Amino acid sequence: MKRLVFLFSILTFIVFSCKKVDREQTPKLDKTILKGCVIGRDSDTLLLVKSIGDARSETLASIPIVNWEFNFEFKTDTIQAYDLIFKDEFDNGGWMPIRFFPEKDTIIMTLYSMDAYRNTEITGGKSNIMYDNYQKEISIPYMTELNEFYKIFDSIPYNTVNSSAYNDLVNKLQIAEMQEEKVVLYKSMDDLKANNLHRSDFGKQIDSQVNVIQNAYWDKKYAFISKNPSIVSYSLLIDDIMSLEYNPAPKEKIITALNELKNKYPNHTYSALAENLWIGFTELQPGGQYINFNAPDINDVSYELKSFVDKNDIVLLDLWATWCGPCIARSRLMRPVYDEYKDKGFEIVGVAGENKNLNAYKKFMAKEQWPWKSLIELDKRNKIWEKYNVMNGGGGMFLIDGSGKILAVDPSADEVKSILKDRLKNQSIKL
């Protein structure tokens, strides 16, 4: 009983503290001040990251939570979306980002546990008000409807939704130990999805009903974006372009919204980003043309991708990062292919996407010693990940022929070897 009274006293203190902060006067400032409290959890740290960034490698700051409260100040050149992430969630591998828009104002937050995420309160600044309206009117009702729909099938085994071929891969993945094994299995699973062979007949029926719910959501979301052309809407559009590979929003709605927002915000960082991402997604498909860029090696000598494409019959562009285990596994699997075809018109150009410094890169390369040309993309200076629309991951692979045409995206080592065997027969390196 005493423990219950103690817990009640703590919660009362927290709620009182939140309300007290909420009543403070917040005059306009030359910086953004975050003030808030946390209810229902014992987390001690929040991570700050741009919404377009990757929390695994691009965390901007760690914000301490002391006695369930936090206070943090920072400056930003332009209004754009940022995320707060509870570090304990991040460390466990699954997190629910809390989006906000820093304006020259004080932003007051009341944050809850992941289970009570929808109770989050953020006040301060017009952008946060608009985003809150979007959440309450469109996003949360959509997620609620989707969750209610999936509850119908809670008692049904997951494997009944998938095809036998897909379930076989899932079972193999569960016992796989090496990252190289997992990469091959993930690729096979992606291939089944691409050919619509991953679902059972029952699973296809469920997907069809989900599509109805999702299409209604897209209609409401893009009606909101059209009615509210703002940085908030731009951030929502960027989300959709970045996730087209696995969550395809209607492309005609995307291009309409993109043209409207680019015209309104021609100099905003989102405009160049959105254009790069859109071109990357639409062009960098089999049959499309590669995108040229320059990047330095470890000695700061700059190289142009075009020079490798012009010199060789086929080039594999390998975008990877030292913190990306699957990327490294894919690269390792390509090494036997490279050794066999490196003198027959085939070249690999690796680009490591690193942040802040090259310490991890130097240590990794001293051990791994990739035999092909290795370049570096430090702090997104050349926007290569944007241009190839792989910002949601550590990287990607693109097989390019001598004319600049994309032959394959994220091919397996076996697929690359098959293409090389067919196309490089009786050929020599271009002069």
- Cα distances (angstroms) measured from residue 171 to each of 154, 159, 174, 376: 20, 10, 5, 37
In angstroms, rounded to a whole number, what is the distance separating the alpha carbons of residues 382 and 384? 5
Share of the chain above pLDDT 70, in %: 91
Query: pLDDT grade, residue 10 (50/70/90)?
Result: very low
Query: Within its chain, how far is the Cα of 417 from the centroid?
Result: 29
Q: Does residue 69 carry a pLDDT above 80?
A: yes
Query: pLDDT grade, residue 28 (50/70/90)?
Result: very low
Cα–Cα nearest to 253, from 280, 204, 210, 214:
214
At position 360, the amino acid (one-letter code) is: A
How many helices (H) and strands (E) would you count in the chain? 15, 15
Query: pLDDT grade, residue 9 (50/70/90)?
Result: very low
β-bridge partners, 121? 110
Across the chain, mean pLDDT equals 89
DSSP string, 407-427: EEES--HHHHHHHHHHHSTT-
Average pLDDT over residues 203-211: 93
Tokens of 210: 């989900």
Average pLDDT over residues 368-381: 94
Query: pLDDT grade, residue 19 (50/70/90)?
Result: very low
Query: pLDDT grade, residue 18 (50/70/90)?
Result: low
Average pLDDT over residues 15-21: 45
Contacts of 18 by beta carbon, 8 Å cutoff, 6+ apart:
36, 37, 39, 110
Q: Does residue 66 carry a pLDDT above 90?
A: yes
Per the model's pLDDT, the better-predicted residue between 320 and 31 turns out to be 320
Give the pLDDT confidence score for residue 108 in this predicted structure.
Answer: 94
Query: pLDDT grade, residue 30 (50/70/90)?
Result: low
Q: Does residue 31 carry a pLDDT above 90?
A: no
pLDDT (tens digit, 9 = 90+) per residue, 317-350? 999 999 999 999 999 999 999 999 999 999 999 9
Share of the chain above pLDDT 90, in %: 74
Average pLDDT over residues 381-405: 91
The angle that helices 179-194 and 325-341 make with each other, rounded to 10 degrees, is 90
How many C-beta atoms surround the C-beta of residue 359 within 10 A? 10
Query: pLDDT grade, residue 393 (50/70/90)?
Result: confident
In angstroms, rounded to a whole number, what is the distance separating the alpha carbons of residues 302 and 156? 56
Give the pLDDT confidence score for residue 105 in this predicted structure.
Answer: 75
Q: Does residue 428 carry a pLDDT above 80?
A: no
Average pLDDT over residues 218-223: 97
pLDDT (tens digit, 9 = 90+) per residue, 82-141? 999 999 999 998 899 999 999 877 899 999 988 888 889 999 889 999 999 999 999 999
Average pLDDT over residues 280-286: 90
Give the pLDDT confidence score for residue 222 in this predicted structure.
Answer: 98
Q: Does residue 241 carry a pLDDT above 80?
A: yes
Cα–Cα nearest to 274, from 50, 49, 52:
52
Cβ(86)–Cβ(55) under 8 Å?
A: no
10 Å CB burial of residue 369 (0-12, 13-18, 19+) is: exposed
Give the pLDDT confidence score for residue 394 in this predicted structure.
Answer: 84
Average pLDDT over residues 193-219: 94
Cβ(78)–Cβ(56) under 8 Å?
A: no
Cβ(387)–Cβ(280) under 8 Å?
A: yes
Task: Give the long-range contacts of residues 148-152, CB within 8 A, separation 24 or more.
Answer: 149/209, 149/210, 149/213
- Cα distances (angstroms) measured from residue 362 to each of 222, 367, 370, 407: 45, 9, 12, 31
| E strand or H helix that includes residue 183 | helix 179-194
In angstroms, rounded to a whole number, what is the distance separating the alpha carbons of residues 362 and 298? 8
Query: pLDDT grade, residue 26 (50/70/90)?
Result: very low
With tokens 């591998």, the residue in question is 93
In angstroms, rounded to a whole number, what is the distance separating the alpha carbons of residues 352 and 376? 5
Q: Does residue 3 carry a pLDDT above 60?
A: no
Query: pLDDT grade, residue 427 (50/70/90)?
Result: low
Query: pLDDT grade, residue 288 (50/70/90)?
Result: very high
Q: Does residue 162 carry a pLDDT above 90?
A: yes
Q: Does residue 182 carry a pLDDT above 80?
A: yes
Give the pLDDT confidence score for residue 426 in this predicted structure.
Answer: 54
